[in-house]
A and B are shown apart, each in its own frame.
Chain A
Amino acid sequence: MKSSIEKLAEKGFLFSALLSASITILILSFMVFFSFPLFKGGDIAAFFTLEWNPYEGRFGIIPMMVGTGIIASLALLIATPFGIGCSAFISVFSTGNFGKLLRKVVEFMTGIPTVIYGFVAIFLLVPFVREIFEKGTGMCVLSASIMLALLILPTIVLFISDAFNSVPKNYLDAADSLGATPVQKLIYVIIPSAWKGIISGLVLAAGRAVGDTLISLMIAGNALQIPRGLEAAARTLTAHIALIIASDYESPEFKSIFVCGLILFFFTTLIVLVLRLLGHFEVLRQR
């Protein structure tokens, strides 16, 4: 009797685990299922062109791919120095309460809903950016990148400061006994031995930046062009999905969002694999 319950429970646990793992496969298969007709028909090449104009039957999603790439990399470019600076502050220079405060603020940031960043940006950052450039609407690559940088900063800071903290203490002691200043410790000891952690944090943040929908949907302008400047409007793959979702189910437009979905899916997988190469087997972090 007892053992049958044990067995039943074990089956139940196994079943749950299989179910959870199969969700990933299921998502992939739905993306493939809905975009499959395109692959079969050989129309797929038509999607990797430069122009999106449904009225004329052009469904190129390259502008969206480029938009995603530019906005995400710019966000990463902005966030990286600040992220490393903050982490160094928290883990290395934090002698006073300010470091603790900063850590608290960063943890607090993980709790701020994305939609609120977008909402505030529309009324605070966008008019500001418009006046700086004196052209364009302010709904542009730069605005989106700045907000996105703010959004991914907690991921970067928490990850990197953990990496800094896990530098073996005897390394630091050795540096101390040689009379190294905190800055010298940071540059010559901590960063070299924590570089894997730093890269992992950045890769993870890149994943978040590419995957985020709301910021770019709300403040990037959603224009169908390859942006030619910081003040130009652009559309990301994620925003494209959100904008096109309501169209005719039989139309190539609708199917194209599953191609976007597939691209995002493979990108995520790539990120996970890179993280594994770097020795991080636990990708999950609280936002």
Chain B
Amino acid sequence: MKFVICLAGIFVFMIVGNPFAVAGDLDRFEGVKGTLRIAGGTAHIPIMKEAAKRIMAANPDIKITIAGGGSGVGIKQVGEGLIDIGNSGRKATDDEVKRYGLKMFKFAIDGIAVVVNPENPVVKMKKSELIDIFSGKINNWKALGFKDRGINVYTRDASSGTRKVFWKKVLNKGDITKSANFVKSHGAMKSAINVDPYGIGYISVGYLDDTVASVSLDGTSPTLENVLKGDYKIARGLYINTKGEPAGLARLFIDYIMSKEGQKIVEDKGYIAVRK
């Protein structure tokens, strides 16, 4: 008898439980209508795009718009009420949280990698060397064993969360040279380094691929495993911010990102999921 019940239980689980757990993550959007405006950190864009695509394909009544702009935008614009969900690659400061009444949801962990052109053989550096490069003290690749050419430093603008984290954790809040070139997003950083043999910059680990070469810092290379183990220290959380407690579509969207399927997207795009 016990056996039969057990079997029946397994049977029920297989028919009912299992499909719910896997395919049901999008069901929450059933019958919902509306528009969701997302903007902010550019490391988040691949995740947001994929999630939006799936949601909109499942429910055409929902419209999700995605813009970049950087973490600063994600925090400020959501605070001003210009968007529903603001992404940031850094924690909002206490002042920002207080001023806007922000709620933060950490949904992924990301590392920041220093990158150079694939032609560049200098893929190992010390932190102190990096500080000198970004401050402009070392300005020729020859000093590091590459060609006798100037180093082109690329950096992000002030609204970038990546820049803030990089500046704090790698440069120890040191200066960035004034001749640094400014780019507006991770994608832009990657494509700039890809076409510039003498460039150096920093991007999210999720964006790494063979178009750029990542630089190992003090012997640790910026891989997901190293970030996960805690060996690679330049990591940060990716946050979704809302003004006050999220409601309606924003709530559903955050739930979806936190769901199994949502976290699977996070992993597929090269970041570390916060929920396994």
Interface-lining segment among A38-46, A91-99, A246-254: A246-254
Interface flag for A233 (CB, 8 Å) = yes
**Least Cβ distance of A77 to chain B in Å?**
23
What is the CA–CA distance of A54 and B167 in the complex, to the nearest angstrom?
14
- Residues of chain A at interface, number, CB under 8 A: 27
Give the size of the chain B interface in residues (CB under 8 angstroms): 26
B137-177 interface code vs A (CB 8 A; 1 in, 0 out): 00000000000011010100111000000000000000000
Q: How far is the CB of B158 from chain A (nearest CB, A)?
A: 5
**Alpha-carbon distance between A135 and B196 when the two chains are bound, in angstroms:** 11
| Contact between chains at A243 and B150 (CB < 8 Å) | no
Min distance, Cβ A245 to any Cβ of chain B, angstroms: 9
Interface residue? A139 (CB, 8 A): yes
List the A residue with the shortest CB-CB distance to B139: A135
Asked if A248 and B76 sit within 8 Å, CB to CB, the answer is: yes
User: Is residue A75 contacting chain B, with contact meaning CB distance below 8 A?
Assistant: no
User: How near does chain B come to A247, taking the closest CB pair, in angstroms?
Assistant: 6
User: Which chain A positions have C-beta within 8 A of B222?
Assistant: none
Q: Which residues of A122-148 have CB atoms within 8 Å of chain B's CB atoms?
A: 123, 126-127, 130, 134-139
B178 touches A246 (CB 8 A): no
**Known A54-B158, A55-B158; contact A136-B152, beta-carbon cutoff 8 A:** yes
Indicate with 1 or 0, residue by residue over B192-209, a CB within 8 angstroms of chain A CB atoms.
100110110000000000
Q: Are B72 and A247 in contact (CB under 8 A)?
A: yes
B13 on the A face (CB < 8 A): no
B157 to A243, Cβ gap below 8 A?
yes
CA distance A247 to B158 in the complex (A): 8
How many Å lie between the Cα of A222 and that of B181 in the bound state?
A: 6
Judged by a CB distance under 8 angstroms, whether B20 is at the interface is no
B112 to chain A, nearest CB (A): 18
Check A137 against B196 for contact (C-beta < 8 Å).
yes
Neighbouring B residues of A249 by C-beta, 8 Å = 76, 80
Chain A residues in 8 Å Cβ range of B111? none
Given contacts A135-B150, A246-B73, A247-B76, A221 and B159 within 8 Å (CB-CB):
no
Contact B182 A136 (CB under 8 A): no
Once the chains are docked, how many angstroms separate the CA of A15 from the CA of B193? 54
B128 CB–A CB distance under 8 Å: no
Q: Which of B154, B179, B199 has the most CB of A within 10 A?
A: B179
Give CA–CA (A139, B193) in the complex, Å: 12
From the candidates A55, A137, A232, A246, name the one contacting B72 in the complex (CB within 8 A).
A246
Q: Give Cα A244–Cα B158 distance, bound, in whole angstroms.
A: 8
| Complex: chain A residue closest to B75, CB-CB | A248
CA distance A24 to B244 in the complex (A): 39
Q: Which of B149, B159, B196, B198 contacts A247 (CB 8 A)?
A: B159
Contact B72 A136 (CB under 8 A): no
Q: Digitize A11-43: 1 where CB-to-B-CB distance is under 8 Å, 0 elsewhere.
A: 000000000000000000000000000000000
**B246 an interface residue at 8 Å Cβ cutoff?**
no
> When chains A and B are docked, how far (Å) is the Cα of A134 from the Cα of B80?
46
Question: In the bound complex, do residue A221 and residue B196 qualify as a contact, i.e. CB atoms below 8 Å apart?
Answer: no
A243 to B184, CA, bound (A): 8
Return A89 CB to nearest CB of chain B, in Å.
36
Cα–Cα, bound, A134→B159 (Å): 32
Chain B residue nearest to A56 in the complex (CB): B175
By the criterion CB–CB under 8 Å, are A134 and B149 in contact?
Answer: yes
A127-B195, A138-B196, A247-B159 given; A222·B182 CB < 8 A: yes
Q: What sequence of 0s and 1s flags, for each residue 210-234 of chain A, a beta carbon within 8 Å of any chain B beta carbon? A: 0000000000011111000000110
Residues of B within 8 A of A (CB): 69-70, 72-73, 76-77, 80, 149-150, 152, 154, 157-159, 178-184, 192, 195-196, 198-199
Q: Which residues of A contact B (CB under 8 A)?
A: 54-55, 123, 126-127, 130, 134-139, 221-225, 232-233, 235, 243-244, 246-249, 253
6 closest Cβ pairs, A-B complex? A222-B182, A246-B73, A135-B150, A225-B178, A137-B152, A246-B69
